[in-house]
Amino acid sequence: MRYRLLPALVASSALRASAAPSASSDSAETYDYIVVGSGPGGGPLAAELARAGYSTLLIEAGGDEGDNPTYAEIPWFNEAANDELTRWDFWVKHSDDPEQDLKFAHTTWDTGDGTFYVGLDPPEHAKLLGIQYPRAAVLGGCAMHNAGVCSMPADDDWNIIVNKTGDTSWDAKNMRKYLMQIERNEYLPPGAPGHGYDGWLATSIQDSSWARNDSLPDPDEAADLVNRDLLELDDKADETSSFYSMVTHADARGMRASPNNYIRATLADPAGYPLTVKLHTLATRVLFDPATVGVDGVVPRAIGVEVMEGPSLYKADPKHVKGTKGPLKQFHAKREVIVSGGAFNSPQLLKLSGIGPRDELAKFNITLVKHLPGVGENLGDNYEGSILAMGSAPVETGLITLLFRTPNAPNKKRNIYTWCGAFSFEGFWPGFPTYHGPTQYSCAMVHLAPKSQAGSVRLVSADPQDKPEINFRFFEHGGKEDLAELVSAANILREAINAAGEPVAPLVEKHPCPGGKDEKCTDEAQAEFFKLQAYSHHATSTCAIGGDDDEMAVLDSKFRVRGVAGLRVVDASAFPVVPGAFPSCPTMMLSVKAAEDIIAEAKKQE
């Protein structure tokens, strides 16, 4: 398959300079706080700090597409994720075995003639790119190009931080208040327990009137099942297998709700909150007080950031023009620098700034500020896969969401999140997804609580415009068990799909068992399929919170970078484990918790 590459934008002469000038700290702009990255971690945090009266600079490498219907309207999420206007392409690995990765059906190649080739039989001389992992460089971050699913982690995913650090503020019952703080619920009557109605993040559900179709055996029961609240407050929720509504961070009209809205509302508020946003600004390193670096007994202190100004400067941007650089500039922070670049870019920026594994930094002649071996390690993600079948007629239903426990799950907790409907979702590649025709039907699966977090984000150079090397090392630990759970889920869903009556039946499966399960499609064969074709898009945990006794811990429970003053990381990289099925809403909750912690600390110092 071939896909067009958007011709690169013509760069201005200023941006074509072969070498950027040295940044000068003279008359550098100064703020109380500097936040790098405007996604689910950094965006709400910056707005909260400014609303608390602290001058805050928010730095974003992309632009603002809040008024662009492709991003503002949730139904266009596939187009948003493919859009070169904001897309950053990371080409990742799934394992240390290059031959295994080359079996991924949607491996992508650069043909050299302005197109991508996607598949297993590339044309001669095509350059291997790898497995696409799109991110969004835009005000609001990846919450602007995702499908907007809003779900809660299992209680254990919050409580693990309590167990690691002793900080009881991370207790799952306490964390619920942050959902209530940010949520503006539009699908339940006012006063539903565990929900908020006055926040900046609209939540809604899809129309489920299709479930009252008189042709169903019990339309009232069916409607009740698919309308169950996915975000319900229930102590037994993590052990409950059930159908649910799919909650999205969007309003009832389908308009996306994200940090973009909150940032823009903060900027426009008549109160004149001291928030400054710098768009098209690439952070290149965190600045440290030179009197505190390399001095025995002195804790290094972050005092600002250096940036490169201009659009499409990062090489993950498909619009980047080779050799393009921008002028360097410095900003200073009186209080703190907060890195919120996400699971790929936060560890990269820390390493470029001298914080990370000693040997890796020495390899690129980066001056060591603090040896923290956990920076860029512990990369985790949900395993994802799907059953795809073709019916004899189009399936006339909406999306059906189900959370359930497979019989081989390691404990009583549910371990699969699935949604089924007339769509296809088989991973990511330029131009995804494939439309298989009007009778396509899929059950897409997200595996909860994966056992392996063996991935890494590592530098390839000291150039801040270069992308890091990203390897997820799927199934490195506990892989046999995780694959068995995916296969068990597929078998359960296959039985459900095949129970469909006329005129939809019979359905002919395309994968993981082409033609249907028979003697050729054993559990072992399905496990091999998922091992090679699983995909993901919920990267977390590369700057993980941990206890004082954990040498791989990067942050303490208040998001402070260990062994460094004036520096925190607030985004999905802070989670010690993958938080549930979808990290967007949990990261926004984490963000407002961080704001609460930071503001409380600032008040004590005043």
Confidence of residue 465 (pLDDT cuts 50, 70, 90): very high
Query: What is the model's pLDDT at position 395?
Result: 84
Count CB neighbours of 570 within 10 A: 31
pLDDT digit string, tens, across residues 131-155: 999 999 999 999 999 999 999 999 9
Query: What is the model's pLDDT at position 220?
Result: 53
329 SS3 class: strand
Query: What is the model's pLDDT at position 516?
Result: 80
Concatenated DSSP letters of 241-259 = -EEE--EESB-TTSBB-SH
**Highest mean pLDDT range out of 13-17, 225-229, 270-274, 493-497?**
270-274
Once rounded to an integer, what is the mean pLDDT over residues 278-293?
Answer: 97
Residue 23 has pLDDT above 80, yes or no: no
Q: Which of 575, 537, 598, 605 is nearest to 94 (CA)?
A: 537
Query: What is the model's pLDDT at position 12?
Result: 27
How many Cα atoms within 13 Å fall on the side-chain side of residue 471? 15
Whether residue 528 lies inside any domain: the answer is no
Residue 215 has pLDDT above 80, yes or no: no
Whether residue 297 lies inside any domain: the answer is yes
Whether residue 15 lies inside any domain: the answer is no
- 571 secondary structure, DSSP code: S
- Least confident residue range of 112-116, 171-175, 483-487: 112-116
More confident residue, 150 or 217: 150
Spatial distance between the Cα atoms of 238 and 524, rounded to a whole number of angstroms: 29
Query: What is the model's pLDDT at position 224?
Result: 66
pLDDT digit string, tens, across residues 409-436: 999 999 999 999 999 999 999 999 999 9
Domain of residue 65 covers 29-86+137-171+256-376+543-606
Task: Report how many domains make up the chain.
Answer: 1
- Pairing type for strands 201-205 and 247-248 reads antiparallel
Whether residue 80 lies inside any domain: the answer is yes
| 215 Cβ contact list (under 8 Å, min separation 6) | none
pLDDT digit string, tens, across residues 66-84: 999 999 999 999 999 999 9
Whether residue 364 lies inside any domain: the answer is yes
Cα torsion for 199, 571, 81, 465, to the nearest 10°? 140
Once rounded to an integer, what is the mean pLDDT over residues 43-53?
Answer: 98
CATH code, domain carrying 345: 3.50.50.60
- 0.85 exceeded by the pTM? yes
One-letter-per-residue 3-state SS of 30-96: EEEEEEECCCCCHHHHHHHHHHCCCCEEEECCCECCCCCHHHHEHHHHHHHHHCCCCEEEEEEECCC
pLDDT digit string, tens, across residues 360-382: 999 999 999 999 999 999 999 99
Whether residue 551 lies inside any domain: the answer is yes
Average per-residue pLDDT in the chain?
Answer: 92
Whether residue 33 lies inside any domain: the answer is yes
Spatial distance between the Cα atoms of 212 and 236, rounded to a whole number of angstroms: 28
- Pairing type for strands 328-339 and 567-569 reads parallel
Residue 15 has pLDDT above 70, yes or no: no
Residue 22 has pLDDT above 90, yes or no: no
pLDDT digit string, tens, across residues 218-258: 545 556 677 899 999 999 999 999 999 999 999 999 999 99
Residue 19 has pLDDT above 60, yes or no: no
Whether residue 438 lies inside any domain: the answer is no
- Least confident residue range of 7-11, 27-31, 391-395: 7-11
Spatial distance between the Cα atoms of 394 and 28, rounded to a whole number of angstroms: 61
Once rounded to an integer, what is the mean pLDDT over residues 574-581?
Answer: 98
